[in-house]
A and B are shown apart, each in its own frame.
Chain A
Amino acid sequence: MLNAMPKIELIVNGRKSETRAQTLAALLDEQELSDAKVATALNGHFVSAAKRGTTPLKAGDSVEIVSARQGG
Protein backbone atom coordinates (compact mmCIF):
# COMPACT_ATOMS: atom_id res chain seq x y z
CA MET A 1 0.00 0.00 0.00
CA LEU A 2 2.67 2.44 1.12
CA ASN A 3 4.67 1.88 -2.04
CA ALA A 4 1.64 2.86 -4.12
CA MET A 5 1.66 6.34 -2.61
CA PRO A 6 3.47 9.02 -4.60
CA LYS A 7 6.65 10.37 -3.04
CA ILE A 8 6.59 13.91 -1.76
CA GLU A 9 9.53 16.17 -1.03
CA LEU A 10 9.92 17.53 2.50
CA ILE A 11 12.52 19.29 4.56
CA VAL A 12 13.43 17.05 7.51
CA ASN A 13 15.75 18.60 10.07
CA GLY A 14 16.88 21.18 7.54
CA ARG A 15 17.62 18.69 4.73
CA LYS A 16 15.62 17.83 1.61
CA SER A 17 14.04 14.43 1.96
CA GLU A 18 11.64 12.26 -0.08
CA THR A 19 8.97 10.24 1.63
CA ARG A 20 5.83 8.22 1.01
CA ALA A 21 4.70 8.88 4.57
CA GLN A 22 1.36 10.65 4.71
CA THR A 23 1.45 11.56 8.38
CA LEU A 24 4.08 12.71 10.83
CA ALA A 25 3.77 9.39 12.69
CA ALA A 26 4.45 7.49 9.43
CA LEU A 27 7.49 9.67 8.77
CA LEU A 28 8.91 8.86 12.21
CA ASP A 29 8.31 5.19 11.50
CA GLU A 30 10.19 5.53 8.21
CA GLN A 31 13.06 7.23 10.10
CA GLU A 32 13.11 4.40 12.69
CA LEU A 33 12.23 6.89 15.41
CA SER A 34 8.74 5.65 16.35
CA ASP A 35 9.89 4.41 19.74
CA ALA A 36 12.59 7.03 20.28
CA LYS A 37 12.26 9.78 22.83
CA VAL A 38 11.87 12.63 20.34
CA ALA A 39 9.70 15.71 20.00
CA THR A 40 8.40 17.13 16.74
CA ALA A 41 7.43 20.34 15.03
CA LEU A 42 5.79 20.94 11.65
CA ASN A 43 6.37 24.22 9.79
CA GLY A 44 7.65 25.87 12.96
CA HIS A 45 4.84 24.72 15.24
CA PHE A 46 4.99 22.02 17.90
CA VAL A 47 3.11 18.78 17.20
CA SER A 48 2.53 16.62 20.28
CA ALA A 49 3.22 12.88 20.20
CA ALA A 50 -0.52 12.24 20.50
CA LYS A 51 -1.28 14.23 17.33
CA ARG A 52 1.43 12.82 15.05
CA GLY A 53 -0.87 10.11 13.70
CA THR A 54 -3.48 12.63 12.59
CA THR A 55 -1.06 15.25 11.31
CA PRO A 56 -0.92 15.00 7.49
CA LEU A 57 2.20 15.86 5.50
CA LYS A 58 2.24 17.69 2.20
CA ALA A 59 4.97 18.58 -0.27
CA GLY A 60 7.21 21.39 0.96
CA ASP A 61 6.48 20.85 4.65
CA SER A 62 9.32 21.40 7.07
CA VAL A 63 9.64 18.88 9.88
CA GLU A 64 11.85 19.08 12.96
CA ILE A 65 12.64 15.92 14.93
CA VAL A 66 14.63 16.63 18.09
CA SER A 67 15.87 14.80 21.16
CA ALA A 68 17.54 15.62 24.49
CA ARG A 69 20.99 17.12 24.38
CA GLN A 70 23.59 18.85 26.56
CA GLY A 71 22.85 22.53 27.12
CA GLY A 72 23.99 25.60 29.00
Chain B
Amino acid sequence: MSTSQSMNVRDQSLHKEQLLSLYGVSVPSRLLLGTAGYPSPAILADAAKASRASIVTVSLRREAAGGKIGERFLDIIKNLGVRVLPNTAGCRTARDAIATAEMARELFGTDWVKLEVIANDDTLQPDVFGLVEAARILNANGFKVFPYTTEDLSVAERLQQAGCEVIMPWAAPIGSGRGLANVAALKSLRAYFPDAKLIIDAGIGAPSHAAHAMELGYDAVLLNTAVAKAADPVRMAEAFANAIVAGRIGYDAGLMPARDMAVPSTPVAGTPFFDIE
Protein backbone atom coordinates (compact mmCIF):
# COMPACT_ATOMS: atom_id res chain seq x y z
CA MET B 1 0.00 0.00 0.00
CA SER B 2 1.39 3.38 -0.96
CA THR B 3 1.56 6.20 1.51
CA SER B 4 -1.25 8.09 -0.21
CA GLN B 5 -3.52 5.03 -0.09
CA SER B 6 -2.87 4.47 3.60
CA MET B 7 -3.58 8.14 4.25
CA ASN B 8 -6.92 7.78 2.47
CA VAL B 9 -7.88 4.79 4.59
CA ARG B 10 -6.92 6.71 7.71
CA ASP B 11 -8.94 9.75 6.63
CA GLN B 12 -11.97 7.56 5.98
CA SER B 13 -11.74 5.86 9.36
CA LEU B 14 -11.37 9.24 11.03
CA HIS B 15 -14.43 10.46 9.17
CA LYS B 16 -16.37 7.38 10.25
CA GLU B 17 -15.43 7.88 13.89
CA GLN B 18 -16.66 11.43 13.65
CA LEU B 19 -20.21 10.57 12.58
CA LEU B 20 -22.65 11.40 15.32
CA SER B 21 -25.59 9.04 15.87
CA LEU B 22 -28.74 10.43 17.49
CA TYR B 23 -31.63 8.04 18.05
CA GLY B 24 -30.27 5.83 15.27
CA VAL B 25 -29.76 8.67 12.77
CA SER B 26 -26.17 9.36 11.75
CA VAL B 27 -25.21 12.93 10.95
CA PRO B 28 -21.81 14.21 9.85
CA SER B 29 -21.83 17.49 11.80
CA ARG B 30 -21.54 17.88 15.55
CA LEU B 31 -22.96 21.38 15.43
CA LEU B 32 -26.69 21.94 15.86
CA LEU B 33 -27.62 25.47 14.84
CA GLY B 34 -30.53 27.62 15.96
CA THR B 35 -32.42 29.62 13.33
CA ALA B 36 -33.57 32.63 15.39
CA GLY B 37 -32.43 36.23 15.50
CA TYR B 38 -30.47 36.55 12.23
CA PRO B 39 -30.34 39.92 10.47
CA SER B 40 -32.26 38.47 7.48
CA PRO B 41 -33.55 35.16 6.08
CA ALA B 42 -30.74 35.25 3.49
CA ILE B 43 -28.08 35.56 6.19
CA LEU B 44 -29.74 32.73 8.12
CA ALA B 45 -29.52 30.52 5.03
CA ASP B 46 -25.89 31.46 4.33
CA ALA B 47 -24.89 30.98 7.98
CA ALA B 48 -26.57 27.58 8.12
CA LYS B 49 -24.63 26.51 5.03
CA ALA B 50 -21.35 27.89 6.37
CA SER B 51 -21.89 26.08 9.68
CA ARG B 52 -22.18 22.74 7.82
CA ALA B 53 -24.82 21.86 10.45
CA SER B 54 -26.87 18.73 9.73
CA ILE B 55 -29.58 19.74 12.19
CA VAL B 56 -31.24 23.11 12.81
CA THR B 57 -33.65 24.00 15.59
CA VAL B 58 -37.04 25.55 14.82
CA SER B 59 -40.08 26.56 16.80
CA LEU B 60 -43.83 27.21 16.69
CA ARG B 61 -45.57 30.51 17.20
CA ARG B 62 -49.12 31.81 16.86
CA GLU B 63 -50.24 32.43 13.28
CA ALA B 64 -52.45 35.42 12.49
CA ALA B 65 -55.69 35.04 10.52
CA GLY B 66 -54.81 34.54 6.85
CA GLY B 67 -51.13 34.49 7.81
CA LYS B 68 -48.33 33.13 5.65
CA ILE B 69 -45.40 33.74 8.00
CA GLY B 70 -45.05 30.08 8.89
CA GLU B 71 -45.10 28.91 5.28
CA ARG B 72 -42.43 31.39 4.22
CA PHE B 73 -40.17 30.19 7.03
CA LEU B 74 -40.84 26.52 6.20
CA ASP B 75 -39.71 27.19 2.62
CA ILE B 76 -36.40 28.65 3.85
CA ILE B 77 -35.79 25.62 6.04
CA LYS B 78 -36.71 23.13 3.31
CA ASN B 79 -34.18 24.75 0.99
CA LEU B 80 -31.42 24.17 3.54
CA GLY B 81 -31.84 20.41 3.12
CA VAL B 82 -31.17 19.69 6.79
CA ARG B 83 -32.99 17.81 9.50
CA VAL B 84 -35.11 19.96 11.85
CA LEU B 85 -35.32 19.73 15.62
CA PRO B 86 -38.44 21.60 16.82
CA ASN B 87 -38.28 23.12 20.29
CA THR B 88 -40.88 23.82 22.94
CA ALA B 89 -39.33 27.20 23.82
CA GLY B 90 -41.33 29.32 26.21
CA CYS B 91 -43.40 26.46 27.65
CA ARG B 92 -43.69 26.73 31.40
CA THR B 93 -45.54 23.49 32.18
CA ALA B 94 -45.21 19.87 31.14
CA ARG B 95 -48.72 20.05 29.67
CA ASP B 96 -47.90 23.00 27.40
CA ALA B 97 -44.64 21.39 26.32
CA ILE B 98 -46.39 18.13 25.46
CA ALA B 99 -49.09 19.89 23.40
CA THR B 100 -46.40 21.96 21.64
CA ALA B 101 -44.37 18.83 20.87
CA GLU B 102 -47.44 17.18 19.37
CA MET B 103 -48.22 20.23 17.24
CA ALA B 104 -44.58 20.33 16.09
CA ARG B 105 -44.60 16.63 15.18
CA GLU B 106 -47.55 17.17 12.86
CA LEU B 107 -46.29 20.41 11.37
CA PHE B 108 -42.64 19.47 10.79
CA GLY B 109 -43.17 15.75 10.23
CA THR B 110 -40.59 14.66 12.80
CA ASP B 111 -40.79 12.85 16.12
CA TRP B 112 -37.67 14.65 17.34
CA VAL B 113 -38.28 17.36 19.91
CA LYS B 114 -35.99 19.68 21.83
CA LEU B 115 -37.87 19.67 25.10
CA GLU B 116 -37.78 22.92 27.06
CA VAL B 117 -39.81 23.54 30.20
CA ILE B 118 -38.79 26.91 31.57
CA ALA B 119 -38.86 27.78 35.28
CA ASN B 120 -37.69 31.38 35.40
CA ASP B 121 -37.84 34.28 32.93
CA ASP B 122 -34.55 35.87 34.01
CA THR B 123 -32.35 32.80 33.97
CA LEU B 124 -34.40 30.70 31.52
CA GLN B 125 -33.49 27.91 33.92
CA PRO B 126 -35.12 24.60 33.04
CA ASP B 127 -37.93 23.44 35.35
CA VAL B 128 -36.33 20.04 35.78
CA PHE B 129 -39.39 18.53 37.50
CA GLY B 130 -41.72 19.44 34.63
CA LEU B 131 -38.97 18.43 32.20
CA VAL B 132 -38.67 14.88 33.54
CA GLU B 133 -42.46 14.51 33.66
CA ALA B 134 -42.89 15.72 30.06
CA ALA B 135 -39.95 13.60 28.86
CA ARG B 136 -41.50 10.45 30.30
CA ILE B 137 -44.85 11.08 28.61
CA LEU B 138 -43.34 12.10 25.27
CA ASN B 139 -40.97 9.12 25.16
CA ALA B 140 -43.94 6.84 25.88
CA ASN B 141 -45.79 8.45 22.97
CA GLY B 142 -43.07 7.74 20.42
CA PHE B 143 -41.11 11.00 20.55
CA LYS B 144 -37.32 11.16 20.42
CA VAL B 145 -36.67 13.64 23.20
CA PHE B 146 -33.70 16.04 23.35
CA PRO B 147 -34.16 17.57 26.83
CA TYR B 148 -32.66 20.98 27.63
CA THR B 149 -31.48 20.59 31.21
CA THR B 150 -28.90 21.80 33.73
CA GLU B 151 -25.60 20.06 34.49
CA ASP B 152 -27.28 18.29 37.46
CA LEU B 153 -26.29 14.62 37.55
CA SER B 154 -29.42 13.32 39.25
CA VAL B 155 -31.70 15.08 36.77
CA ALA B 156 -29.73 13.55 33.89
CA GLU B 157 -30.21 10.17 35.52
CA ARG B 158 -33.98 10.72 35.75
CA LEU B 159 -34.08 11.81 32.11
CA GLN B 160 -32.25 8.66 31.09
CA GLN B 161 -34.68 6.57 33.15
CA ALA B 162 -37.50 8.40 31.37
CA GLY B 163 -36.15 7.06 28.07
CA CYS B 164 -33.92 9.88 26.82
CA GLU B 165 -30.87 8.68 24.85
CA VAL B 166 -29.80 12.28 24.39
CA ILE B 167 -29.28 14.74 27.25
CA MET B 168 -28.58 18.44 26.65
CA PRO B 169 -27.08 20.26 29.64
CA TRP B 170 -26.62 24.01 29.44
CA ALA B 171 -23.16 25.56 29.47
CA ALA B 172 -24.62 28.80 30.86
CA PRO B 173 -28.05 30.50 30.62
CA ILE B 174 -29.59 30.80 27.14
CA GLY B 175 -28.27 33.80 25.22
CA SER B 176 -25.68 34.68 27.90
CA GLY B 177 -22.63 33.69 25.84
CA ARG B 178 -20.66 32.98 29.02
CA GLY B 179 -19.27 29.59 27.96
CA LEU B 180 -18.87 26.56 30.22
CA ALA B 181 -19.86 27.94 33.63
CA ASN B 182 -19.36 24.69 35.55
CA VAL B 183 -16.61 22.69 33.87
CA ALA B 184 -16.14 20.30 36.78
CA ALA B 185 -19.81 19.29 36.76
CA LEU B 186 -19.83 18.89 32.97
CA LYS B 187 -16.77 16.62 33.26
CA SER B 188 -18.54 14.49 35.90
CA LEU B 189 -21.62 14.28 33.73
CA ARG B 190 -19.54 13.01 30.79
CA ALA B 191 -17.75 10.49 33.00
CA TYR B 192 -20.97 9.34 34.64
CA PHE B 193 -22.87 8.81 31.38
CA PRO B 194 -20.29 7.41 28.95
CA ASP B 195 -22.94 5.96 26.63
CA ALA B 196 -25.48 8.80 26.60
CA LYS B 197 -25.36 11.33 23.79
CA LEU B 198 -24.48 14.55 25.58
CA ILE B 199 -25.00 17.81 23.73
CA ILE B 200 -24.07 21.17 25.22
CA ASP B 201 -27.11 23.39 24.66
CA ALA B 202 -27.08 27.11 25.42
CA GLY B 203 -24.64 29.62 26.86
CA ILE B 204 -21.93 29.25 24.20
CA GLY B 205 -20.50 32.63 23.15
CA ALA B 206 -17.25 31.94 21.32
CA PRO B 207 -15.80 29.20 19.12
CA SER B 208 -13.30 28.43 21.90
CA HIS B 209 -16.21 27.59 24.24
CA ALA B 210 -17.51 25.08 21.71
CA ALA B 211 -14.04 23.59 21.21
CA HIS B 212 -13.71 23.26 24.99
CA ALA B 213 -17.01 21.36 25.20
CA MET B 214 -15.86 19.00 22.47
CA GLU B 215 -12.46 18.49 24.17
CA LEU B 216 -14.36 17.34 27.28
CA GLY B 217 -15.86 14.57 25.16
CA TYR B 218 -19.28 16.08 24.58
CA ASP B 219 -20.92 14.62 21.50
CA ALA B 220 -22.13 17.88 19.99
CA VAL B 221 -22.90 21.55 20.63
CA LEU B 222 -26.17 23.38 20.05
CA LEU B 223 -25.97 27.14 19.70
CA ASN B 224 -27.82 30.04 18.14
CA THR B 225 -27.18 33.53 19.52
CA ALA B 226 -23.37 33.35 19.21
CA VAL B 227 -23.77 33.02 15.44
CA ALA B 228 -26.97 35.02 14.87
CA LYS B 229 -25.74 38.07 16.82
CA ALA B 230 -22.14 38.04 15.57
CA ALA B 231 -21.05 41.03 13.49
CA ASP B 232 -20.70 38.60 10.58
CA PRO B 233 -22.92 35.57 11.26
CA VAL B 234 -21.78 33.67 8.18
CA ARG B 235 -18.07 33.81 9.07
CA MET B 236 -18.88 33.07 12.72
CA ALA B 237 -20.81 29.98 11.62
CA GLU B 238 -17.71 28.80 9.77
CA ALA B 239 -15.55 29.55 12.84
CA PHE B 240 -17.82 27.41 15.02
CA ALA B 241 -17.83 24.60 12.48
CA ASN B 242 -14.02 24.53 12.51
CA ALA B 243 -13.76 24.86 16.31
CA ILE B 244 -16.11 21.93 16.85
CA VAL B 245 -14.18 19.72 14.43
CA ALA B 246 -10.89 20.75 16.07
CA GLY B 247 -12.22 20.08 19.58
CA ARG B 248 -13.54 16.67 18.59
CA ILE B 249 -10.32 15.58 16.90
CA GLY B 250 -8.43 16.86 19.96
CA TYR B 251 -10.60 14.72 22.22
CA ASP B 252 -10.21 11.66 19.98
CA ALA B 253 -6.45 12.18 19.86
CA GLY B 254 -6.22 12.16 23.66
CA LEU B 255 -5.30 15.35 25.47
CA MET B 256 -2.15 15.37 27.59
CA PRO B 257 -2.77 15.59 31.31
CA ALA B 258 -2.25 19.01 32.91
CA ARG B 259 0.70 19.31 35.31
CA ASP B 260 1.32 21.62 38.22
CA MET B 261 4.98 22.19 37.35
CA ALA B 262 6.88 22.96 34.17
CA VAL B 263 8.51 20.10 32.25
CA PRO B 264 11.02 21.05 29.55
CA SER B 265 9.98 19.94 26.10
CA THR B 266 13.48 20.34 24.62
CA PRO B 267 15.83 17.52 25.73
CA VAL B 268 17.97 18.53 28.70
CA ALA B 269 20.76 16.10 27.78
CA GLY B 270 23.45 17.76 25.68
CA THR B 271 22.45 21.32 26.52
CA PRO B 272 25.41 23.54 25.45
CA PHE B 273 27.32 25.49 28.09
CA PHE B 274 25.85 23.12 30.69
CA ASP B 275 28.41 22.35 33.33
CA ILE B 276 28.36 18.54 33.71
CA GLU B 277 31.06 18.24 36.38
Contacts and interface: CB of A to CB of B under 8 A. Distances in A.
Contacts of B89: 71-72
Contact of B63 (A33, A44, A46, A48): A33
Interface of A: 13-14, 31-33, 36-41, 44-46, 48-49, 64-72
B103 A46 contact: yes
Given A68-B74, A69-B69, A72-B34, A37 B107 contact: yes
Contacts of A72: 34-37, 57, 59, 87, 89, 174-175, 202, 224-225
A38 B63 CA distance: 8
Interface stretch (B94-102, B237-245, B257-265): B94-102
Interface size of B as a range: 35 or more
Contacts of B103: 39-41, 46, 64, 66
A70 B74 contact: no
A71 B58 contact: yes
Given A44-B95, A72-B34, A67 B66 contact: no
A36 B87 contact: no
Contact of B58 (A31, A36, A68): A68
Contacts of B69: 67, 69
Given A37-B107, A67-B73, 13 more contacts: A13-B63, A31-B65, A32-B66, A33-B66, A33-B67, A36-B67, A39-B60, A66-B70, A67-B60, A68-B71, A68-B77, A70-B35, A70-B73
Given A39-B106, A40-B103, A45-B99, A66 B87 contact: no
